Each structure stands twice: as C-alpha cells, then as structure tokens.
Structure 1
C-alpha cells in the first residue's frame, strides 16, 4: 500500500509595510490582509530594526517620505545588504516627480506606485513580484 502524502498547506507570503500614514496603513491592510501575513512599521528605522532582529519577509512596501529614515535611504541599505538585497521592494510615494521614481529604480526598487493609488494595483504588483521571486 502506498503511503499517504499530505501536502503542506501553503503559507501566506509575509509582507512588511513601512509607512508613517495611518490612513495608508489601513488601506493596505484592508486590501492585503486576506491573502498575506502583514507586518506594519511606522518608519524606516522601525522597519530596519525589525529586519535586523532576524525576521524574514517576502516583500517590502515602503513610503519614500518618512521621518527618521526615509524610503530612499532604507532602500539603499536593503539593496546593499547581503542579507536583504533579494527581497523585492515596492516604493510608494505621493511625489509625482519622475526624479523620485528614477532614484528609486536606480537604487534597486522593483516597482514604484504613486499615491493616491488603486489598492488593486498594489495587490497585482505584489502578486507579480512574488511570482518572480523564489521563496
């Protein structure tokens, strides 16, 4: 008789959301909570500290304009780290200047979404990046 092989239930991908706007945190949570495990931090320093504690994450959504450590500086740290550079990063910003988008992409961002955004576009970007990233 063949042994019964049980498939492991697929775990939810884990997203780190770093944004100082409570409103944006709530919108993202509302649209992402059913499909993903979410961790929310208020600024780049909190997010980096959480990562430095050894926590693993599948994707990061980060605002550009934040107190303490802004998104561009955080992105630079993440993408220059041998521990974190493999993590896909989606930048969020109310800035419509193409210079911010260019700076983000040049520093290694995998996507850039301008606020206000369609939350379904964020979900679609997250899913697309996770499909491309082995985890």
Structure 2
C-alpha cells in the first residue's frame, strides 16, 4: 500500500506541510473541523444577507440594504479567516508553538453586531 503523505509526495500547501513535524492526527482533524465551521458561518452570513433582500422583510429599505450588504461582506470575509486560521494553526501545531489568535474574528464579530443593530433600527423605524 502506498502512503499519500510520505517523502515522495508533496502536500498542498507546502507553506503549511513543509514545516515542522507531523502532528497527532487528532489535532489536524480538530483544526479542519474549525475550518469547516468558518465555512458554514460564511454560508449562513451570505444566506442571511441575500434573504433580507430577496424576501419581503418589513424593514426600512435603506437599512435593509445596508444590513444585507454588510452580511454578504462578512460572508466573504469568513472563508478568508477560515483559510488563514487553518494554515496558521496547522503550522503552529507542526512547530509545537502556541496557537495563534484569529485575525478576522473581531472584525466579523463587530460586523455581525452592526448588522444586528441595523436590523433592530430597521424594525423600529418601519
């Protein structure tokens, strides 16, 4: 049986797999689950933004559009966080270093809060 990760086979991305030592698979699998959670978050944010404009939601028009654009924009940022976070964490695990903090999480959290405030204002001002 041939190994898929042996020395004769390069893994993508080399910037991640080309450093450090092979970690316990449980750590890599946990990191992958976090990556997939960010992707699900991206889909949910994008779907919420599209739904605000596609459905006849009784919210003040300008605020509805601003909220929808903000949610879709956050939905575009979440996969960037997913990839950067996955790669940085995988490199840290392979090097046996402390795990990095997520770069875009504060931006996504603040944007989600702003979208909620826009929704609340839109409901109150309709």
Larger Cα Rg: Structure 1 or Structure 2? 2
TM surpasses 0.5: no
| Coarse TM-score class (shorter-chain normalised) | under 0.3
Higher helix proportion = 2
Higher strand proportion = 1
* Relative contact order higher in (CA < 8 Å, ≥ 6 apart): 2
